[in-house]
Amino acid sequence: GAGVSQSPSNKVTEKGKDVELRCDPISGHTALYWYRQSLGQGLEFLIYFQGNSAPDKSGLPSDRFSAERTGGSVSTLTIQRTQQEDSAVYLCASSLNSAGTQYFGPGTRLLVL
Amino acid sequence: AQKVTQAQTEISVVEKEDVTLDCVYETRDTTYYLFWYKQPPSGELVFLIRRNSFDEQNEISGRYSWNFQKSTSSFNFTITASQVVDSAVYFCALSEATSGTYKYIFGTGTRLKVLA
């Protein structure tokens, strides 16, 4: 079956612009995670969605970052007023339930000029 | 506090050599899960194995084997008869039940280079 998909695969933007990153989880997976992979910080958790529960936003680095998950499926990560330090690979993962193994998408490579 | 340490930043081996990637973790939970993922040059994280804290049985899958030892808080990964296709960055990760979210805490990764 189809894995986790993410779009765009690459995004180049100018400092100060807003960007939206999309994640399509594996069908039937109720848990969805966003992570960020950067040279300085490694792989770090950003946000978690599980069903209709309130998301865990504890990993979001600033209030410029937000995410939503519509209809329990597709998720969008939005970064407002992008900064150069936001440049990283943003990875999405989904799991069958919160305790399940997470399967990762190919990531979106974001470059902020 | 929870933490995963992969002390080996980069390892180079010649094809057909065996290689062990180390992973040491810290957690106060009694229920937790450990994972290994492979990240080839394409960038996608590929799941390799999952172990739960109550199962210390070692596992072998083809050329891959894993040694889980709670006494030393280690979950090491061995590749036997390495191949060039094994070249990648390997990540160890920890997931804790009390987090509620089971979010992963990753190590910094070990870059494995297998030379022909």
Question: For A8-36, how does the pLDDT look when each residue is reduced to its tens digit (9 = 90+)?
Answer: 999 999 999 999 999 999 999 999 999 99
Split at pLDDT 50, 70, 90, the class of B100 is confident
Question: Is residue B4 a contact partner of residue B23, using CB atoms and an 8 Å limit?
Answer: yes
pLDDT for the residue numbered A1: 59
Alpha-carbon dihedral B29, B35, B36, B42, rounded to 10 degrees: -120
User: What is the average per-residue pLDDT within B32-53?
Assistant: 95
Cα B55 to chain centroid, rounded: 16
Q: To the nearest whole number, what is the mean pLDDT of chain A?
A: 95
Indicate whether A106 pLDDT > 90: yes
So what's the pLDDT on residue B99?
84
Residue A41: what pLDDT? 79
Distance from CA of B14 to the nearest CA of A (A): 27
| pLDDT band at A52; cut points 50, 70, 90 | confident
CA distance A64 to A81: 7
Residue A71: the pLDDT is: 82
Cβ atoms B95, B35 nearer than 8 A:
yes
A39 has pLDDT over 90:
no
**Residue B15, pLDDT above cutoff 90:** yes
User: Between chains, do B44 and A104 touch, taking CB under 8 Å as contact?
Assistant: yes
Q: Is residue B88 within 8 angstroms of chain A, CB to CB?
A: no
**Residue pair A5/A25 in contact by the 8 Å Cβ criterion:** no
Instruction: Tell me how far apart the alpha carbons of residues B29 and A110 are, in angstroms, rounded to a whole number.
Output: 35
Distance from CA of A98 to the nearest CA of B (A): 6
Distance CA(A59)–CA(A74), nearest Å, equals 20
B43 contact A CB<8A: yes
Measured between its terminal Cα atoms, the distance across chain A in Å is 37
One-character DSSP codes across B48-92: EEEEETT----EEETTEEEEEEGGGTEEEEEESS--GGG-EEEEE
Confidence of residue B58 (pLDDT cuts 50, 70, 90): confident
